[in-house]
Amino acid sequence: MPRHDGGSPLTEYLLEMREKKGKNTEWTQVQILPAITTSFRVTKLNENVYYNFRIKAANSVGHGEPKALEKAVKPQKQNGK
């Protein structure tokens, strides 16, 4: 993380995920999102697996330190879907 960003505006977010336990415990990129994004739906997850998510903000200087959810989440089917 740079000590000073020079006032450079936020340009994007990098969303990453990994399985809490199991064979895929490496962080993998889910999506690069525009800086105006306030939500994103991750699809094609296994219902019986807990996942950790983290996000990194970026500007012209580079990516900042990741911020992770405090707890792993388990996907559930939505009603009617």
Instruction: Please give the residue range of the domain that contains residue 47.
Output: 12-68
Provide the sign of the torsion angle of the four alpha carbons 26, 68, 39, 61, taken in this order: negative
In a domain, 18, yes or no: yes
CATH number at residue 54: 2.60.40.10
Confidence at residue 23, expressed as pLDDT on a 0 to 100 scale: 73
pTM for this model (two decimals): 0.82
Residues 14-69 have pLDDT tens digits of: 999 999 987 777 899 999 999 999 999 999 999 889 999 999 999 988 888 999 99
**77 falls within a domain:** no
Burial class (CB in 10 A: 0-12, 13-18, 19+), 78: exposed
Q: What is the pLDDT of residue 12?
A: 95
Whether the predicted pLDDT of 4 surpasses 80: no
Number of domains making up the chain:
1
In a domain, 73, yes or no: no
The verdict on residue 48 lying in a domain is yes
Cα distances (angstroms) measured from residue 61 to each of 2, 7, 31, 78:
7, 10, 20, 39
| Domain assignment present for 6 | no
Q: Which two tokens stand for residue 78?
A: 């939505």
In a domain, 50, yes or no: yes
